[in-house]
Structure 1
């Protein structure tokens, strides 16, 4: 029986790139994460062999990258060598294999997050400036202890 590529989803974060190989009830899972390449292989419950090899868009820290197997998939999280640099794609080549898709459920446009946060801080500071000083609190020495 010939091996085939597993359906794969990916998404980008400031520190990590995530890949999810969608194979239910996987066995014989092998994941090799190198600095610029990932090799994945396994079998499903029916004995079908899956194999994916991806030359990565940019370098990752292979020593700080991991994979996690569940009943439905195998997820790899690879630590980017250059953090906070967005990856426009997962593959080094500017091609999109039929088995590879963006995971839109987990995708977030995080590049503008810092600018949005900075704008919110500036807006809060302006609001604080507009609050007028109401003077010192009233003296409470005329209250009885009773």
Structure 2
């Protein structure tokens, strides 16, 4: 078995789309010498990965333009997450790449995917509604909460009685 050390292989990656950003996560454990270059219509990623310092190189011609100055990346022990600021906010990216070609190292991150185009301000998710409700439960004196019978009653309840010893 002959392994060529100078050959660079693309790192596996997954991506997802948001209203103002596109996120790409390069799945490389124990990465070193990470280099991410953001250009207006291209992303270049390279690093050494794993205990054998395998060389990775990904060059992506992007579906649409990004703002290179507002795009960032963050390295962790398990991956490198790139946050690409879209050139045009609010425009959905049906794919990451300019070409429609299927790349075996690239997949959609369905765990983080959100079909934000179909969302409207009136149709918030349950979490958003819950957060809004909690924020509105502050010190508003205008809000009349319903009276609860016995809420201010200091009389002993049946659950205040001493419990019998366990055998």
TM bracket (short chain):
0.7 to 0.9
Quick one: distance in 2 between partners of 1:37 and 1:59?
A: 8
Deviations 1:98-127 (A, max 9, x none): 00000000000000112xx3357xxxxxxx
Q: Identify unmatched segments of 5+ residues in structure 2.
A: 125-167
Detail structure 1 runs of 4+ shifted over 6 Å in the superposition: none
- 2:20 equivalent to 1:6: no
Distance, in Å, in 2 between the alignment partners of 1:96 and 1:64 is 28
Q: 2:103 & 2:43 partners in 1: Cα distance?
A: 15
1:82-101 aligned at under 5 Å gives the runs: 82-101=88-107
Quote the residue 2:54 is aligned against.
48
Query: For residues 13 and 23 of structure 1, what CA distance do their matches in structure 2 show?
Result: 23
Deviation at 1:36, TM superposition (A): 0.3
CA shift in 2, pair 1:9/1:119, >3 Å: closer
Higher relative contact order (CA 8 A, sep 6+): 1
Within a 5 Å distance, the mapping from 1:28-47 to structure 2 comes to 28-44=33-49, 45-47=51-53
CA distance change for structure 1 residues 98 and 119 in 2, over 3 Å: closer, same or farther? closer
From the superposition, tell whether residues 74 and 119 of structure 1 become closer, same or farther in structure 2 (CA, over 3 Å): closer
The 1-side partners of 2:80 and 2:123 are apart by 38
* Cα distance in 2 between the residues matched to 1:103 and 1:119: 24
Could you list the runs of 5+ residues in structure 1 that have no partner in the other structure?
121-146
- Residue number among 21, 24, 27 corresponding to 2:26 in the alignment: 21
Supply the distance in 2 between the matched residues of 1:31 and 1:19 (Cα, whole angstroms): 12
- For the aligned residue pairs, the C-alpha RMSD in angstroms reads 1.0
- The alpha-carbon deviation at position 53 of structure 1 amounts to 0.2
TM-score where L is the length of structure 2: 0.69
Q: Relative to total residues, which structure has the larger strand share, 1 or 2?
A: 1
